[in-house]
């Protein structure tokens, strides 16, 4: 890389992880993939886990590869990842078993059990977070009820990105944006919600001190440097370690007229707030609050994303049918528009054995034509996602009291021009797409601010706008989308609206 300063961004997703080299030359940012590795849940016995040692091995390979390819030492390294999951350390600082996956079945029924002790509205007022079964609080409470030995012996809980920062630096800290996903953190006090922790019988000793994004945690441990072939130390830096917060940090042009849409396996759509405003309206409409890179908050709705199509592709692959994304999108463009629609946030699509069959069943029971071909199924999913974004777009304007004009779409979905145009049409709003690697770029931005390479996040985002080529999609006539939205709302009303997006 020609950049004067290079930062290593470890960007962990639910299906893959990457180590990226982010360059900063004083004017523009650049990004280059150093190493990519597979990730995913591993079932062992009754539980679904994360392969933490496999992820750690992938991170080390990436750090090692960079050292072998580049001259000099990176200015820093940061880790961002998904929310809610965590690892437990014992009194010696050693990891106690493999962390459980958020799709593990142990939290079934925990929302209701916790509500017997603390009602959902009280939780929302204290944390700004909607109840959702995958949240950290329900994972922990299930272990309290199990009288789990690991929890009883644990000394420290570290959310997933903070766990790998600990492996890198030895620092036991919980970064602010990641902590807000637990449903056990108080944005008002910038500390753990201790009364809730005590009420649920969760041992308070396990919660590590919180730190803000762009905090230098300390130098990378000597043994890690030696294993990866470095002679000179460099710092581990707490970035906005929740990948959504990192993605929004790298969303150019965010202002009061904009909504962000981070689109990947999950979709998260929302707006920036300066402080928590836990209104009854926001609670009723299913909006939650998570930390932002500058210490503020993201008011957002958590929606299913491209997970549904990813699962369809997996099922087709098992059947011996290999499809590339471009093949599916080309076929979808040829399929009949707005013919079959689904509630993408329905529980039926959370983890079915066969996603194509789940889509067929939903359409069958709601009296719609059943999509059969990959093109028809792809179009059904993309149009249904666009209608979910439309519902959130309308509700977000109501909750914030803003006149929203632009959807700023980042993440893998920014590559999907068909989805981008459908979203513009469904929302009757301009869609600005890019950057694709928003989470990794947000990771790099926070490191640059922490080391003084950039003065503040505002300057970093201005530089990013000069660095990235963005695409703009203008809305076309939306009358057919209005009719489709009304038709889908009627179908959802008949079945009862119990989807993932309405719980969080």
pLDDT of residue 277: 75
Nearest to 30 by CA among 468, 453, 439: 468
Q: Give dist(CA 413, CA 303) in Å, integer.
A: 13
Q: Give dist(CA 275, CA 264) in Å, integer.
A: 26
State whether the Cα torsion 90-93-94-98 is positive or negative.
positive
| SS3 assignment, position 181 | helix
Active site residue 243: yes
Number of other residues whose CB lies within 10 A of the CB of residue 422? 27
With tokens 């925990």, the residue in question is: 110
pLDDT of residue 148: 96
pLDDT digits (tens, 9 = 90+) for 79-129: 999 999 999 999 999 999 999 999 899 999 999 999 999 999 999 999 999
Q: Give dist(CA 421, CA 401) in Å, integer.
A: 26
pLDDT of residue 439: 96
Tell me which of 11, 80, 85, 243 is the catalytic residue: 243
Nearest to 78 by CA among 63, 89, 93: 63
Cβ–Cβ < 8 Å for 121, 283: yes
Cα maximum dimension of the chain: 66
pLDDT of residue 468: 86
Q: Which residues have C-beta within 8 Å of that of residue 458, sequence separation ≥ 6?
A: none
Distances, alpha carbon 22 to alpha carbons 8, 177, 351, 460, in Å:
6, 21, 35, 13
Checking DSSP bridges between strand 5-12 and strand 76-80, what pairing results, if any? parallel
Ordered by start, the domain boundaries in the chain are: 5-241, 244-303+394-410+423-434+449-479, 307-386+481-503
Q: Which residues of the chain have pLDDT under 70?
A: 1-3, 495-504
CATH classification number, 307-386+481-503, choose in 3.40.50.620, 3.30.420.40, 3.40.50.360, 3.40.50.150: 3.30.420.40
| Residue 84 region by backbone torsions, left for phi larger than 0, else alpha for psi between -120 and 50, else beta | left
Nearest to 413 by CA among 340, 336, 473: 473
Architecture of domain 244-303+394-410+423-434+449-479: 2-Layer Sandwich (3.30)
CATH topology assigned to domain 5-241: Nucleotidyltransferase; domain 5 (3.30.420)
Cβ–Cβ < 8 Å for 464, 267: no
Please tell me if the domain spanning 5-241 has the same topology as the one spanning 244-303+394-410+423-434+449-479: yes
- Full-model pTM: 0.90
pLDDT digits (tens, 9 = 90+) for 158-202: 999 999 999 999 999 999 999 999 999 999 999 999 999 999 999
Nearest to 418 by CA among 451, 378, 389, 447: 378
């Amino acid at each position: 890389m020609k950049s004067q300063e290079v930062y290593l961004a470890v960007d962990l997703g639910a299906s893959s992880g990457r180590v990226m080299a982010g360059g900063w030359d004083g004017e523009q940012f650049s990004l280059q993939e150093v190493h990519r590795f597979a990730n995913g849940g591993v079932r062992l016995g009754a539980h679904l886990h994360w392969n933490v040692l496999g992820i750690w091995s992938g991170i080390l390979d990436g750090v090692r590869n960079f050292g072998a390819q580049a001259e000099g030492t990176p200015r820093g390294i940061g880790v961002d990842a998904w929310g809610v999951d965590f690892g437990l350390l014992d009194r010696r600082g050693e990891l106690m078993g493999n962390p459980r996956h958020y799709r593990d079945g142990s939290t079934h029924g925990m929302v209701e059990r916790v509500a017997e002790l603390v009602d959902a509205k009280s939780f929302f007022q204290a944390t700004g977070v909607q109840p959702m079964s995958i949240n950290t609080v329900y994972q922990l409470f299930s272990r309290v009820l199990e009288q789990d030995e690991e929890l009883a012996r644990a000394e420290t809980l570290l959310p997933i990105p903070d766990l790998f920062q600990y492996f890198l630096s030895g620092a036991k800290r919980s970064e602010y944006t990641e902590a807000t996903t637990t449903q056990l953190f108080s944005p008002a006090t910038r500390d753990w919600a201790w009364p809730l922790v005590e009420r649920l019988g969760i041992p308070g000793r396990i919660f590590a001190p919180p730190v803000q994004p762009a905090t230098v945690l300390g130098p990378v441990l000597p043994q890690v440097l030696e294993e990866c072939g470095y002679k000179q130390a460099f710092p581990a830096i707490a970035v906005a370690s929740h990948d959504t917060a990192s993605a929004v940090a790298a969303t150019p042009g965010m202002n009061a007229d904009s909504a962000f849409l981070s689109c990947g396996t999950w979709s998260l759509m929302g707006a920036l707030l300066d402080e928590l405003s836990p209104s009854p309206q926001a609670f009723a409409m299913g909006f939650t609050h998570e930390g932002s890179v500058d210490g503020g908050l993201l008011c957002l709705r958590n929606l299913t994303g491209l997970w549904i199509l990813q699962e369809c592709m997996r099922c087709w692959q098992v059947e011996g049918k290999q499809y590339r994304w471009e093949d599916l999108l080309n076929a979808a463009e040829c399929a009949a528009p707005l013919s079959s629609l689904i509630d993408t946030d329905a529980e039926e699509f959370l983890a079915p054995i066969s996603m194509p069959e789940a889509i067929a069943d939903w359409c069958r029971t709601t009296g719609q034509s059943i999509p059969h071909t990959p093109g028809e199924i792809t179009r059904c999913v993309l149009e249904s996602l666009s209608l979910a974004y439309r519902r959130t777009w309308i509700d977000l304007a109501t909750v914030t009291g803003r006149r929203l004009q632009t959807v700023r779409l980042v993440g893998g979905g920014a590559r999907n021009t068909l989805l981008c145009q459908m979203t513009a049409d469904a929302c009757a709003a301009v869609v600005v797409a890019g950057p694709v690697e928003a989470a990794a770029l947000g990771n790099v931005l926070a490191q640059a601010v922490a080391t003084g390479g950039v003065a503040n996040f505002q300057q970093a985002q201005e530089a990013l706008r000069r660095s990235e080529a963005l695409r703009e999609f203008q809305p076309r006539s939306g009358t057919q989308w209005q009719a489709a939205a009304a038709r889908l709302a009627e179908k959802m009303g008949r079945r009862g609206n119990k989807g993932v997006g309405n719980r969080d």
